Amino acid sequence: MFRSDRMGMPDGLAVIGPGDAGYERVRSTAMRAGSPALVLQPVDVAQVRAALAVARRRGVAVGLRSGGHGISGRSTNDGGVVIDLSRMNRIEVLSERDRLVRVQAGARWKDVAAALAPYGWALSSGDYGGVGVGGLATAGGLGYLAREHGLTIDHVRGASVVLADGSVVRAGADADPDLWWAIRGAGANFGIVTSFDFEVDDVGDVGFGRFVLDATDTAGVIARWGAAMEAAPRDVTTNLIIVPGPDGRLAATIMGVVNSAEPDVVAERFAPLLRAGPLLQQTVRHLPYAQVMDNTGDRPEKVATGEPISRSGLIEHLTPEFSTVAHQFARSGATYFFQFRAAGGAVADVDPGATAYPHRSANFQVGAFGNSHRELGAAWEPMEAHFRGLYLSFDSDLRPERIAQAWPPKTLARLRELKLRYDPGNVFRDNFDLIPPA
């Protein structure tokens, strides 16, 4: 990096640019290749403010990065500034009595799970341990404890936020409730959340199952798994993934958790799901939730070399009609990974207006990855009529009309009104931008 690029940098702030040792490691994320002009790695709130001031002075795109797993890939860019919170990863217990913990945005979910395990606690998060806290806890957070304990955002009791003008504010029920509402579903548009206060749950050992089914009858597998999930008690949450097997035939993997340490309960809960199709393989383990989340392996973190290509939608029921078009999509050749995630249960207990994640009645999240935007979009289209909303965390399609799918008119109107109050200059726009193009 040129000496001139360092001029005006705040003392002590870690600055990495092209040509620096370490640039290759930070320029791209797990999902998207990038070449930012600067990656700034603050270690505290004062440095986050300083980093934001640097980005604002330059007037370039600002990427916010916590764990670098954002599927839209906006935590890197080309020629802009990235504010990378990975060094802010502290996890501390605030109150053992109230099960209240403070987690900085740069922590990873596997570390959160490991830190809570000695207390017999867990926090409903996503299901991959390498994902960062900041991106997931400002968007939703749909994982293996969702049907029993809700989304991650449903556990946020307060947050510390650096706003676009550099001010540091606290958001919570009694401190700035409007901001608290907005950052639970649309956080990326409102500021840099540096830490979250979460109320966590008592969770001990769980049953973790992985089952492979023949999916020759893809439509039948999808519809039967969906019906079984909706009928299941809340302590079970699973995903269904459809992928081509080595012989070209489609296989379905059901993976998920029964939140019980009792082997009989675990077996009883999984049994109806396995009737979705002919069972080819099964593994069930009884282990602490933290071990389920310790799933990133020892290999170095994945670094993307291209652009992410994914589509997603939320749906209430996996009806036979929907399952038939999903079957055709699975066979279209446009996707190499097609996934259904169960929601419902505690997710649906929350009033749709209580947070900026309104689609509480969706029992399923559907998502797919592909190699071509055009091919994936065309094959995906016939399913669109069945969707009732969008969880942006699984989407890479940034077209403005997607915003209206993510947020219904009332929610979107409130978000836009608050956006003008908290970020009138639209500094935080380099993701799913709430402000329509002029």
Ligand X SMILES: Cc1cc2nc3c(=O)[nH]c(=O)nc-3n(C[C@H](O)[C@H](O)[C@H](O)COP(=O)(O)OP(=O)(O)OC[C@H]3O[C@@H](n4cnc5c(N)ncnc54)[C@H](O)[C@@H]3O)c2cc1C
Query: Which of these segments, 130-138, 246-254, 257-265, 323-331, binds ligand X (CB under 6 A)?
Result: 130-138
Of the two residues 210 and 331, which places its CB atom closer to ligand X in the complex? 210
Is position 140 an interface residue for ligand X (rule: CB under 6 A)? yes
Q: Does 366 bind ligand X (CB under 6 A)?
A: no
Of 128-136, 225-233, 289-297, 317-325, the window that binds ligand X (rule: CB under 6 A) is 128-136
Shortest distance, CB of residue 264 to ligand X, whole angstroms? 27
What's the Cα-to-Cα distance from 141 to each of 95, 179, 184, 206, rounded to whole Å?
A: 23, 18, 10, 19
Q: Which of 234, 238, 316 is nearest to 273 (CA)?
A: 238
Q: Which of 36, 42, 129, 143 binds ligand X (CB under 6 A)?
A: 143
The answer to whether residues 128 and 30 touch, using CB atoms and an 8 Å cutoff, is no
- Is residue 139 involved in binding ligand X (CB under 6 A)? yes
Q: Which of 17, 34, 36, 68 binds ligand X (CB under 6 A)?
A: 68
Angle between helices 409-422 and 177-186 (to 10 degrees): 120
| Site string (89-118) toward ligand X, x via CB under 6 A | ----------------x-------------
311 is an interface residue for ligand X by CB under 6 A: no
The two tokens of residue 304 are 């993307």
Compute how many residues bind ligand X; rule: CB under 6 A.
35
Q: Is 431 in the site for ligand X (CB under 6 A)?
A: yes
Contact pick of 112, 192, 309, 376 for ligand X (by CB under 6 A): 192
Q: Of 327 and 341, which CB lies nearer to ligand X in the complex structure?
A: 341
Q: Provide, rounded to whole angstroms, the least separation between the CB of residue 262 and ligand X.
A: 25
**Type of residue at 353:** G
Q: 195-225: string of b/e by CB count within 10 Å (b at 16+)?
A: bbbbbbbebebbbbbebbbbbebbbbbbbbb
Residues 380-399 close enough to bind ligand X by CB under 6 A: 393
Minimal distance in Å, beta carbon 177 to ligand X? Answer: 18
Contact 389, 358 (CB under 8 A): yes
Between 85 and 215, name the residue whose CB sits nearer to ligand X. 85
Q: Closer CB to ligand X, residue 85 or residue 346?
A: 85
By CB under 6 A, is residue 292 in contact with ligand X? Answer: no
Say if CB 121 and CB 201 are below 8 A apart.
Answer: yes
Question: DSSP letters of 2-71?
Answer: -HHHHTTPPTT-EEE-TTSTTHHHHHS-SS---B-SEEEE-SSHHHHHHHHHHHHHHTS-EEEESSS--T
The whole-angstrom separation of Cα 272 and Cα 351 is 30
Q: Is 160 in the site for ligand X (CB under 6 A)?
A: no
Q: How far is CA 251 from CA 144, 192, 245, in A?
A: 21, 41, 6
Which residue, 138 or 363, has its beta carbon nearer to ligand X?
A: 138
Tell the smallest beta-carbon distance from residue 70 to ligand X (Å).
Answer: 3
Residue 216's H or E segment, with its range, is: none
Q: Is 29 in the site for ligand X (CB under 6 A)?
A: yes
Choose which of 17, 42, 80, 126 interacts with ligand X (CB under 6 A).
126
Contact status: 132 vs ligand X (CB under 6 A): yes
CB 112 within 8 A of CB 134: no
DSSP 78: B
| Site of interaction with ligand X (CB under 6 A) | 29-31, 64-71, 74-75, 85, 105, 126-128, 131-132, 134-136, 138-143, 187-188, 192-193, 393, 431
